[in-house]
Amino acid sequence: MAMMKKGRRLAAPLLLALTLAGCAAPPPQGVRPVSLRFSLDAACGQDITGLAPVPVRLRDARLFVSEVALIDRAGQLVPVTLDQNLWQYQGTALLDFEDATGGCTGTPERNDQITGHAVAGDYRGVRFTIGVPSALNHGPYEKAPAPLDLAAMGWSWQAGRKFIKIELLPQGGVQRPNGTPTSAWNLHLGSSGCAGDPVKGEAVTCAAANRIPVRLDRFNPARDRIHIDLKALFSGTDLTRDGGGAVGCMSGPADPDCPAIFKAMGLRLLPSATGVADAGQPLPQGQRFLTVVRP
Ligand code: CA
């Protein structure tokens, strides 16, 4: 319900879009509304088949997206200036595929699109980041503007936010190494290895950023949608079992359930070599769970 408590809408996207478009030689051809539509192959209260040996239900499915740009015919990135509303603040948007029914525990509202403006053009692709930029990531959620004010997306132990929160309920539960079954397999992605207390005014730095760069070619923003493919994301994972550590994968470098998930997300879980500080950076092959769907 936190999404409903504030009702402001700021109206500066047009000017910002023109500013971001820069001072290139051709005059701006004007800006156009942009709407990016997303979908997920799951809904609250419905059995998901093909994810695990047993039917699986959703408990939560939310993620933050930022640094949105369209890719024009020449391959150039053109920034999208996001509208500012309850789902979007300073270029960061929350996507929400749960509605607090049928075993889901979040908010009744859902959001499956990102809206904004960009200079008119012939666009062939889209580029964005899954994650909250560092400047907005750290700091208490209680006083943050929506959508950064959600306690459920806060990640207090790392002084930041969960970039992805997907929680799944396999029928029969999740077996743990200690023999005590539990209900949900949790994927929580966020920056990890963080130090510094933002409440004391300290800068927060994190060893592993864990932000996912996404580039999708052959994408027409006027027609296509971006699909979040849970089967691809969990293809290397048995959701009926937890290997240890947090139940599921909460971005822990030593969690035996994280390597498969991080590979699907296109992120390095561990440094490539001793002394190399590249944990949490993108893998060359990229992510494999977001795809373009054409009508
Ligand atoms: Ca685990």
User: What pLDDT digit, counting tens, does each position of 138-167 carry?
Assistant: 988 888 999 999 999 998 767 799 999 999
What is the distance in A from the centroid of ligand 1 to the CA of 163? 18
The predicted structure's pLDDT at residue 29: 62
Total of domains in the chain: 1
Identify whether 19 is part of a domain: no
Residues forming a β-bridge with 70: 78, 126
Q: Are strands 92-96 and 88-89 parallel, antiparallel or unpaired?
A: antiparallel
What is the distance in A from the centroid of ligand 1 to the CA of 48? 21
pLDDT digits (tens, 9 = 90+) for 244-293: 999 999 999 999 999 999 999 999 999 999 999 999 999 999 999 999 99
Identify whether 229 is part of a domain: yes
Identify whether 165 is part of a domain: yes
Identify whether 78 is part of a domain: yes
Identify whether 25 is part of a domain: no
Identify whether 246 is part of a domain: yes
| 267 vs 24: which has the higher pLDDT | 267
Percent of the chain with pLDDT over 70: 90
The predicted structure's pLDDT at residue 165: 98
pLDDT > 60? residue 121? yes
Across 241-246, average pLDDT: 96
Average model confidence (pLDDT) across the chain? 90
Residues forming a β-bridge with 123: 72
pLDDT digits (tens, 9 = 90+) for 174-212: 999 987 899 999 999 999 999 988 878 888 999 999 999
Identify whether 17 is part of a domain: no
Kindly state the DSSP code that residue 21 receives in the 8-state scheme.
Answer: H
The domain of 154 spans 30-293
pLDDT > 90? residue 18? no
Cα dist from 245 to 158, 174, 257, whole Å: 16, 13, 8
Say what the pTM is: 0.89
What is the distance in A from the centroid of ligand 1 to the CA of 177? 10
What is the distance in A from the centroid of ligand 1 to the CA of 187? 9
What is the distance in A from the centroid of ligand 1 to the CA of 261? 11
Q: 247-283 in b/e burial notation, b at 16+ Cβ within 10 A?
A: bbbbbebebebbbbbbbbbbbbbebeeeeeeebbbbe
The predicted structure's pLDDT at residue 20: 45
pLDDT > 90? residue 19? no
Across 20-45, average pLDDT: 76
Identify whether 13 is part of a domain: no
pLDDT > 80? residue 59? yes
